């Protein structure tokens, strides 16, 4: 007997008249109660607005005369044989006082009728007068072993339908897919697995993105949480050797191990604008082969009191449903730096975020980025909330050479055709973003002259650029001074 079946049987034996189940996995609920009906020797009926009452523990014609909710409840009340009744998608009819009264009378007469009414829907708000008689039940989600078994069963079905051919895959990809399917209902997970296998008879790296997209589409997000499908790899990031090594050392603990008490929580990246903080956030997800979610605090804010905090809670709940994943909070200081007229919303947002960071159990790794460190509250940056604070400084000469090489190769130019060391020296004080823009602008210049891109074009663009480190020299110097003894160098 499954845990869900065992727990539901305990509820039924506890003589509770109303059981409330919020789920999208209606078929699984129906199967569970079908088995329980046989085990407890109780008839099991299901009602829907399209077919009325019908028995589900054996084949029987639907009772069309009970399509209307009042008729169905009236017949249930008049039936003396103790039974289990599944009321499917009954939530729209709970606004009717007559229906609520009928449900209450059936519950009050439980000692005579013995009926158990099970309300099943994706969302159920039970009227106050029925709450005394009801108990909520949550279906458990498949664990890693359940999903692994499901994948093998679907692979076997495909093999039988294709003359004994085997589904092509490998253990690493299977493990990654199993982890990505955690948090889904059995029905949703099975549908995704079946789609992947029946597409080409294989489970490959390319299918992992499809699984991520399918999972995200199943979530009800409020727009504050988005998924970034274009992640990166640390091979596309120049420098940041300290950060790369830190991430590499923690990959196996976070990605491969389950329920590790010391699993990494997250990092904060502070530094000069354009230094590569956002690219580094994408690279963490790309290197760990995990979904990257981006939390947009600007979308969270609502003029109505309490709505902003609720939006945040919903966004964080959705992030947990996507676990294991990387949650990117860009320019976090803008979200929690309160103004004079925000009625304390920023402080409440900060409180909600800190509470979640301290109490979350799901494998959600936070990568927060910040430019204005003076606006960061001490309770956010203390140890325990996040694992480490990295400072992304302006690139040194070797890193600038690496960045020039990356961006030239990205545009299908051969770095050996350019004087990379000379360009790196000329670009002293440039951020990674400013170096990229110099390369981009140089390609436009070469195209205008109808000649191949060369070192001179890039040198010309560098000479015409005033980097942020010069335009805002005082602020950059202040930021570096603050970071010197407070952070770990990402480079």
Residue 464 lies in a domain: yes
| Domain match, 154 and 126 both | no
| Domain match, 9 and 110 both | yes
Question: Which structural domain range is residue 161 located in?
Answer: 144-218
| Domain match, 268 and 380 both | yes
**Which residues is 267 bridged to in the sheet?**
367, 388
Mean pLDDT score across all residues of the chain: 86
| Domain match, 287 and 435 both | no
| Domain match, 131 and 242 both | no
Residue that terminates a domain, selected from 86, 110, 137: 137
| Domain match, 90 and 28 both | yes
Of the candidates 298, 326, 328, 334, the one whose C-alpha atom is nearest the C-alpha of residue 222 is 298
Q: What is the pLDDT of residues 332-367, one digit of tens each?
A: 887 676 544 455 677 788 888 888 888 888 889 999
Residue 122 lies in a domain: yes
Residue that terminates a domain, selected from 137, 169, 202: 137
Calpha distance 51→63 (Å, rounded): 7
Q: What is the pTM of this model?
A: 0.67
Calpha distance 116→136 (Å, rounded): 13
| Domain match, 242 and 383 both | yes
Q: Which CATH number do you get for residue 445? A: 1.10.8.60
Query: What letter would DSSP give residue 271?
Result: E
Q: Cα torsion for 117, 123, 129, 130, to the nearest 10°?
A: 20
Residue 484 lies in a domain: no
| Domain match, 412 and 303 both | no
Q: Are strands 84-88 and 44-48 parallel, antiparallel or unpaired?
A: parallel
Q: Which CATH number do you get for residue 60? A: 3.40.50.300
Number of domains in the chain: 4
| Domain match, 172 and 264 both | no
Q: What is the pLDDT of residues 31-74, one digit of tens each?
A: 999 999 999 999 999 999 999 999 987 777 888 899 999 999 99
Calpha distance 85→46 (Å, rounded): 6
Higher-pLDDT residue of 306 and 168 is 168
**Which residues is 84 bridged to in the sheet?**
44, 116
Q: What is the pLDDT of residues 374-410, one digit of tens each?
A: 777 877 777 777 899 998 888 989 999 999 999 999 8
| Domain match, 30 and 91 both | yes
Residue 92 lies in a domain: yes
Query: For 272-291, what is the mean pLDDT?
Result: 85
Indicate the pLDDT class of residue 456, thresholds 50, 70 and 90: very high
| Domain match, 351 and 410 both | no
| Domain match, 363 and 265 both | yes
């Amino acid at each position: 007997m499954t845990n869900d079946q065992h727990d539901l049987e305990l509820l039924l034996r506890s003589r509770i008249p109303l059981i409330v189940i919020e789920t999208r996995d209606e078929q699984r609920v129906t199967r569970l109660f079908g088995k329980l009906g046989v085990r407890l020797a109780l008839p099991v009926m299901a009602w829907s607005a399209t077919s009325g009452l019908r028995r589900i523990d054996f084949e029987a014609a639907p009772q069309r005369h009970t399509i209307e909710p009042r008729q169905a409840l009236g017949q249930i009340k008049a039936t003396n044989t103790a039974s289990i009744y599944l009321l499917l998608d009954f939530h729209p009819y709970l606004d009717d006082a007559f229906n609520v009264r009928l449900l209450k009378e059936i519950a009050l007469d439980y000692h005579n009728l013995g009926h158990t009414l099970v309300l099943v829907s994706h969302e159920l708000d039970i009227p106050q007068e029925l709450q005394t008689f009801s108990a909520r039940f949550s279906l458990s989600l498949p664990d890693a072993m359940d999903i692994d078994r499901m994948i093998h069963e679907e692979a076997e079905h495909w093999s039988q339908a294709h003359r004994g051919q085997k589904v092509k895959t490998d253990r690493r990809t299977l493990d990654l897919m199993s982890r990505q399917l955690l948090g889904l209902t059995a029905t949703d997970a099975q549908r995704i697995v079946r789609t992947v296998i029946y597409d080409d008879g294989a489970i490959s790296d390319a299918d992992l993105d499809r699984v991520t997209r399918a999972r995200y589409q199943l979530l009800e997000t409020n727009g504050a949480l988005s998924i970034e499908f274009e992640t990166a790899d640390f091979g596309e990031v120049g420098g940041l050797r300290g950060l790369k090594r830190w991430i590499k050392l923690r990959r196996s603990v976070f990605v491969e191990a389950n329920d590790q008490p010391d699993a990494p929580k997250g990092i904060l990246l502070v530094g000069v604008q354009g230094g590569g903080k956002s690219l580094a956030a994408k690279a963490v997800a790309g290197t760990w082969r995990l979904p990257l979610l981006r939390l947009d605090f600007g979308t969270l804010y609502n003029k109505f009191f309490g709505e902003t905090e609720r939006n945040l809670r919903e966004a964080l709940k959705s992030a947990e449903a996507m676990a294991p994943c990387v949650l990117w909070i860009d320019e976090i200081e803008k979200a929690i730096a309160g103004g004079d007229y925000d009625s304390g919303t920023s402080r409440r947002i900060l409180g909600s975020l800190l509470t979640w960071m301290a109490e979350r159990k799901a494998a959600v790794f936070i990568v927060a980025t910040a430019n204005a460190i003076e606006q960061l509250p001490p309770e956010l940056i203390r140890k325990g909330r996040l694992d480490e604070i990295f400072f992304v400084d302006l690139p040194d000469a070797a890193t600038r050479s690496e960045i020039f090489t990356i961006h030239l190769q990205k545009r299908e130019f051969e770095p050996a055709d350019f004087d990379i060391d000379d360009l790196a020296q000329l670009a002293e004080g440039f951020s990674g973003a400013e170096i990229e823009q110099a390369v981009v602008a140089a390609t436009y210049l070469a195209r205008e002259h109808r000649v191949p891109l060369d070192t001179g074009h890039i040198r010309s663009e560098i000479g015409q650029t005033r980097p942020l480190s010069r335009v805002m020299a005082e602020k950059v110097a202040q930021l570096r001074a603050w970071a010197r003894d407070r952070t770990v160098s990402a480079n």
